[in-house]
Amino acid sequence: MIRLRNVSKIYGKQKALDCAVLHIKQGEFVFLVGTSGAGKSTLMRLIYREEVPTKGQVLVGGVDVAKLQDYKVHHLRRRMGIVFQDFKLLCDQTVFDNVAFIIRALGMSDREINRRVRGALKIVGLHEKADELPTCLSGGEQQRVGIARAIVNGPPLLIADEPTGNLDPQTSMEIMEILEQVNKRGTTVIVATHDHMIVNHMKKRVITLDQGKIVKDMDCGTYEC
Ligand SMILES: Nc1ncnc2c1ncn2[C@@H]1O[C@H](COP(=O)(O)OP(=O)(O)OP(=O)(O)O)[C@@H](O)[C@H]1O
Ligand SMILES: [Mg+2]
């Protein structure tokens, strides 16, 4: 599903990513770990085509994303859900409307929107809070809205950049369990995190970055302190 062929991303003199070679198959659950500045977000931004590589190729579903025209980038992003550390919710809109936002823009019928939003909220356990504003929710609940928004269009790929960075350990584990459920429904999940406890508990594939290089890639891996 995702293939990186000798990918480097260089900002000025800074090698954010250095000759990365990587293959992630459909249905995998992958952690990206490494110290601050190791290149985790850069790798993710290359996959969702927020950035293009300085060298090498990033293939998503067999397509070289650097070569996509702008309108095709929109098509690519529709097949991905993206979850951020700071949730990025619309504070003046209800939970329902936050989750519905993207599929409304796709011109779906109200009935279909309703069905999909309720379904996504059920997966994250927030179906009873559909009419609340995000400001009335806890951090963990807000992140669950972020996940519902990311999965509402049934994407084959979910990318989460430090989704638990602002949450306590118990809530972080609940968020990871939701991501695991999403993965069990067939979505490929890629999570960047600094959280040793979560990575070591989940026993998934762990890719370790250090100064832009992939230094370790292990199935059922761990994140050493
Ligand atoms: N837009 C940019 N312009 C210049 N340098 C950048 C840019 N984006 C990232 N970098 C640099 O590239 C390197 C990798 O950054 P990146 O954000 O990918 O790290 P990270 O592993 O996600 O770190 P963190 O854990 O702090 O989020 C860093 O040295 C960073 O300063
Ligand atoms: Mg980052």
Tokens 């490929």 locate to 188
Pocket probe mutation, ligand 1, options 41, 194, 195, 208, max atoms within 8 Å of Cβ = 41
* Domain carrying residue 161: 1-44+155-225
pLDDT band at 104; cut points 50, 70, 90: very high
Average pLDDT over residues 27-37: 97
Residue identifier of the C-alpha nearest atom 16 of ligand 1: 39
How many domains does the chain fold into?
1
Residue 179, in any domain of the structure: yes
Question: What separation in Å is there between the alpha carbon of 108 and the centre of ligand 1?
Answer: 37
Structure tokens at 48: 């969702």
Residue 216, in any domain of the structure: yes
Residue 85 in contact with ligand 1 by CB distance below 6 A: no
Q: Residues 82-103: pLDDT tens digits?
A: 999 999 999 999 999 999 999 9
Residue 149 in contact with ligand 1 by CB distance below 6 A: no
Q: Is the pLDDT of residue 204 over 80?
A: yes
Q: Is the pLDDT of residue 38 over 90?
A: yes
Residue 81, in any domain of the structure: no
Residue 39 in contact with ligand 1 by CB distance below 6 A: yes
What CATH number is given to the structural domain containing 218?
3.40.50.300
Residue 33, in any domain of the structure: yes
Residue 123, in any domain of the structure: no
Question: What separation in Å is there between the alpha carbon of 110 and the centre of ligand 1?
Answer: 40
Residue 206, in any domain of the structure: yes
Residue 101, in any domain of the structure: no
Residue 207 in contact with ligand 1 by CB distance below 6 A: no
Residue 34 in contact with ligand 1 by CB distance below 6 A: yes
Residue 103, in any domain of the structure: no
Q: Residues 136-178: pLDDT tens digits?
A: 999 999 999 999 999 999 999 999 999 999 999 999 999 999 9
Q: For the purposes of burial, counting CB atoms within 10 Å of the CB of 169, is it exposed (0-12), middle (13-18) or buried (19 or more)? A: exposed
Q: Give the separation between CA 48 and CA 105, rounded to whole angstroms.
A: 19
